[in-house]
Chains A and B, each alone.
Chain A
Amino acid sequence: MTGSHSIVPDTDAAPKCPFHSPESVFEGSTPLVPSEALGALRDEAAAVPFLYSDAHQGWLVTRHSLGRAVLEDPRFSMYPRRMPLGPSGGHPLDIDDRAIHSVHDADLLSLDEPQHGKLRRTVLGRFSVRAVRGYQEAVQEIVRSQLVHLLEVGSPADLAAEFAQPISARTHCFVLGVPDDQVQKFISLFVDKSTSQQKWDFVREVIELRRDNLGDDVISDLLGSELTPTEIEGVLFVLMVSGRDSVAYMITTGTHILLSHPDQAALLRDDPALIQAAIEEFMRYGTMFVTLFPRTALEDVELENVLIRKGETVSVSPVAANRDERRFEDPDVFDVTRDSFGHLAFGHGQHGCVGQQLARLEIRTALGAILAEIPSLSLIEAEQSRPLPWASDLPTYEAGSLVVEWNAA
């Protein structure tokens, strides 16, 4: 027998689908340890062919520089909405017509200019660096009271449920202007489970409660703006569902990172001023968005030698971009002293996170309190160490529970 009739298939010639599916790329990924597949694709190219769940073809952007370029480029549209893990284009069917109208008019992350910018500008002023400085005391008080609560619950406890989730929910209500006596209802609807329609009903109830009782908050600004009633309800809905879970995720994941990097925790404890800049490293290393909302090319776009044809959809991966060695040296090392600015954890460009300064304040205050007040904190079990189901049709990580223990003082 000669080798010329080998029955072993010639792997080079075997047909292989060039498109990567979301399942194959993201499977097994966890917040602290992104999937190996994602890293391998980043080594392969800045963007790889990507197949959406409705068989639509597009690209997954894995490298930082191309990700940034895509997010800054006005030749991409947020429409039609096409999720990597779910059906395309459809609005939720379980909501009333008025809510469908609001989604259509005011869902920031599926709108382009000029409508998107018009809505965004009505709320920006409440989220600027200066405005957020004004929330500092209130956030400190919320964090302090949740710390007292955590200590009362006693060791061991789930830090996500007793500390992270309530901090983000209470701060969210405070900044938006949800009345104090509605905060528990907000938590039961938006943190625990509820239907979309129940959330829309709550948005309308809160607007009615506040209409004759304006103050210094987002809802008052919306009610005093030129926006139509459906736009006001739509923007408020977006703000109520956005970022609250992300802040809770980041406080939970940030604590998980601290407990698994005691040397870095010690650096922050020795020099509390370091935390200000270190928040960017927590954001980079513990990035929540595996991909951003997809963008679709309105014309042929060539960026960094990648040709994205008109109609093709692009998903930028902040998780991959933030661990791109071309941008961040030794990217898999968590180092609170590095310069991590420029990461894509809050997105980038026109749709970059509205609430990012508020999020930084909450995370910094919460992690600072944990470092200073419970030095003996240690990890029993982080649910996010194993892959959890995706939070939605967009692959983003869930906080999961974080069971910790400490020595009572």
Chain B
Amino acid sequence: MQITVNTPACVGAGQCVMAAGELFDQDDDGIVMLLEDSPDAAQQAGARRAASLCPARAIKIAE
């Protein structure tokens, strides 16, 4: 699995950090930071959940 984030689209509501704090964080301006672009098997459900909750559709997942 490969995760990419579209930072210009991010609205900074932090849904991704709540869903998968080990994969996503927010920088000092509140914008998403990808901590890990290739999640291991145990992290993939969190990645999918983050992508589905993101209100800006800023998280893309390639399986």
Instruction: Assess the B55–A349 pair: CB atoms within 8 A.
Output: yes
Other-chain residue from A117, A120, A128, A341 in contact with B14 (beta carbon distance below 8 A)? A128
A121 at the interface (CB under 8 A from B): yes
B61 at the interface (CB under 8 A from A): no
Q: Which of chain B's residues have a CB closer than 8 A to the CB of A354? A: 12-13
Near B by CB (< 8 A), chain A positions 351-368 give: 352-354, 356-357
A127 at the interface (CB under 8 A from B): yes
Chain A's closest residue to B19 (CB) is A341
Say whether, besides A341-B19, A357-B14, A72 and B57 are in contact (CB < 8 Å): yes
Q: Which of chain B's residues have a CB closer than 8 A to the CB of A124? A: 12, 29-31
Say whether, besides A120-B11, A356-B14, A128 and B26 are in contact (CB < 8 Å): yes
A124 to B32: give the CA distance in the assembly, Å: 11
Instruction: Assess the A131–B57 pair: CB atoms within 8 A.
Output: no
Instruction: Assess the B30–A72 pair: CB atoms within 8 A.
Output: no
Q: Which of chain A's residues have a CB closer than 8 A to the CB of B45? A: none
B17 at the interface (CB under 8 A from A): yes
Taking the nearest CB of chain A, how far is it from the CB of B10, in angstroms? 9
Instruction: Assess the B30–A353 pair: CB atoms within 8 A.
Output: no
B22 at the interface (CB under 8 A from A): no
A356 to B25: give the CA distance in the assembly, Å: 16
A128 to B12: give the CA distance in the assembly, Å: 7
A125 to B31: give the CA distance in the assembly, Å: 8
Q: Which of chain A's residues have a CB closer than 8 A to the CB of B25? A: 129-130
B40 at the interface (CB under 8 A from A): no
Q: Which of chain A's residues have a CB closer than 8 A to the CB of B30? A: 121, 124-128, 131
B56 at the interface (CB under 8 A from A): yes
B18 at the interface (CB under 8 A from A): yes
Near B by CB (< 8 A), chain A positions 128-164 give: 128-131
Other-chain residue from A129, A342, A353 in contact with B17 (beta carbon distance below 8 A)? A129
- Contact-residue bracket for chain B: 20 to 34
A350 at the interface (CB under 8 A from B): yes
Instruction: Assess the B18–A129 pair: CB atoms within 8 A.
Output: yes
B21 at the interface (CB under 8 A from A): yes
Say whether, besides A129-B17, A350-B11, A71 and B26 are in contact (CB < 8 Å): no
Chain B's closest residue to A351 (CB) is B11
Chain B's closest residue to A277 (CB) is B18
Near B by CB (< 8 A), chain A positions 82-132 give: 117, 120-121, 124-131
Instruction: Assess the B56–A127 pair: CB atoms within 8 A.
Output: no
Say whether, besides A71-B55, A349-B11, A352-B11, A125 and B28 are in contact (CB < 8 Å): yes
Taking the nearest CB of chain B, how far is it from the CB of A240, in angstroms? 19
Instruction: Assess the B53–A342 pair: CB atoms within 8 A.
Output: yes
Taking the nearest CB of chain B, how far is it from the CB of A120, in angstroms? 7
A348 at the interface (CB under 8 A from B): yes
User: Interface centre among A127, A128, A346, A350, by most B CB within 10 Å?
Assistant: A128
A–B Cβ pairs within 8 angstroms, 7 of them: A72-B55, A128-B30, A129-B17, A130-B17, A131-B26, A341-B19, A348-B55
Q: A128-B26, A128-B27 are in contact. List 19 more A-B contacts (CB 8 A).
A: A72-B56, A117-B11, A124-B29, A124-B31, A125-B28, A125-B29, A125-B30, A127-B12, A127-B30, A128-B14, A128-B17, A129-B21, A130-B25, A130-B26, A131-B30, A342-B53, A350-B55, A350-B56, A357-B13
Give the top 10 A-B pairs by smallest Cβ distance, nearest first. Answer: A124-B30, A128-B26, A124-B12, A129-B17, A128-B30, A129-B14, A125-B30, A125-B29, A352-B13, A348-B55
